[in-house]
Amino acid sequence: MTSRNERAEALRALLNPHDPAIAMAAHNPLAAKLAAEAGFAAIWGSGFELSASYAVPDASILPMGTHLEMIRSMGEVQDTPIVADIDTGFGNAVNVAYAVPRYAAAGVAAVVLEDKTFPKDSSLRPGGRQELVPAGEFQGKIEAARAHGGMLVIARTEALIAGQGEAEALRRGAAYAEAGADAVLIHSKSKSPEEILSFCRAWDGRVPLVLVPTSYPQLSFKDVAALGKVGLVICGNHAIRAAVAAMRDTFRRIREEGGIAAVEGRIASVAEIFALQGDDALRGLERDFLR
């Protein structure tokens, strides 16, 4: 396995505005391993996905320890750099200074902090409570993360989500880059990519941008690369949504068919699961050490 510093530098090298890296969301080690197997450049340790996997809202309900342990477990089973979604940093700048070294010790390559108040509300929730902290206060959180982390710090502004407009989003993005952010994540819930495209064109390029095109999936990776401003694109919640859809379909078929035979050819084999669990390595340990 690679060290945490190597993972951070590997991710930094991938933030190429002319060839953006693509990150896939994960909510557990198995999903992270599958994303790495599929060839994604990074793993998005998604707070939304983890909350969904516990069947609770994405509203700062799960404690830091739950998220941290899952992120640590993801890093133990594969080498792809992990971008940890730590929402608002679990409180103020003091909380950030406490949390970030623990994520560094867990081997993450980057943390993403957002400029909403704690506790947060999901950015895409209809009618959600989207309140931002003052930009200066958030600069302090970025500086605390930089001082204590030894990894990339990505600052996420929710100005567009909160309806504060492009000028405010640009002002905040510039302030966060000035505070030491390695990249700026700009988020939008508009169903059209035009809001994001306008921001990207206006951005001065001082640090790479990060996009999460959940609401505007028609924007292709090729289109993003053509902007020359975006270093990372995050597929923000596709692992949990794919898992829910597949499980619902399988469960429905079993109920309707009155047995499991009809789904057998549509789901992963037991042998595939053994392989993902590292069964060969276990057998090797048994041969070498069991007496």
Query: Considering Cα of 184, then 85, then 3, then 279, what sign does the dihedral take?
Result: negative
pLDDT at 195 over 80: yes
Tokens read off for 147: 């001082």
Q: Is the pLDDT of residue 284 over 60?
A: yes
> Which of the residues 19, 58, 79, 288 is marked catalytic?
58
CATH number for the domain whose boundaries are 4-239: 3.20.20.60
* pLDDT, tens digit (0-9, with 9 covering 90-100), for 5-17: 789 999 999 999 9
Rounded to whole angstroms, the Cα distance separating 159 from 169 reads: 5
Residue 4, pLDDT score: 52
- Known catalytic residue at 288: no
Give the torsion through C-alpha atoms of 72, 74, 80, 83, to 10 deg: -60
- Note the pLDDT tens digit of each residue in 213-257: 999 999 999 999 999 999 999 999 999 999 999 999 999 999 999
pLDDT of residue 176: 98
Which part of the chain has CATH 3.20.20.60?
A: 4-239
- Tokens representing 7 are 């993972």
Give dist(CA 149, CA 214) in Å, integer: 28
> Which residue reads 């998604």 in tokens?
46
Report residue 6: phi and psi, to 5°. -65, -40
- Whether 104 shows a pLDDT value over 80: the answer reads yes
- Which string of DSSP letters, residue by residue, matches the chain? ---HHHHHHHHHHH--TTS-EEEEEESSHHHHHHHHHTT-SEEEE-HHHHHHHTTS-SSS-S-HHHHHHHHHHHHHH--S-EEEE-TT-SSSHHHHHHHHHHHHHTT-SEEEEE-BPSSP--TTSTT----BPPHHHHHHHHHHHHHHHSSEEEEEE-TTTTT-HHHHHHHHHHHHHHTT-SEEEE----SSTHHHHHHHHH---SS-EEE--SS-TTS-HHHHHHHS-EEEEEE-SHHHHHHHHHHHHHHHHHHHHTSSGGGGGGS--HHHHHHHTTHHHHHHHHHHH--
Contact 110, 152 (CB under 8 A): yes
Q: What angle do CA 280, 4, 279 make, to 5 degrees?
A: 10
Distance (Å, rounded) from C-alpha 203 to C-alpha 280?
Answer: 49
| pLDDT reported for residue 6 | 86
Judged on CB neighbours under 10 Å (0-12, 13-18, 19+), 43 is: buried
Is the pLDDT at 261 greater than 70, yes or no? yes
Place of tokens 């730590």: 86
Q: Tell me: the pLDDT tens digits for 4-59?
A: 578 999 999 999 999 999 999 999 999 999 999 999 999 999 999 999 999 999 99
Q: Give residue-wise pLDDT tens across range 107-163.
A: 999 999 999 998 887 777 677 778 999 999 999 999 999 999 889 999 999 999 999
Beta strand 21-26 with 152-157 is: unpaired
**Mean pLDDT on 179-205:** 96
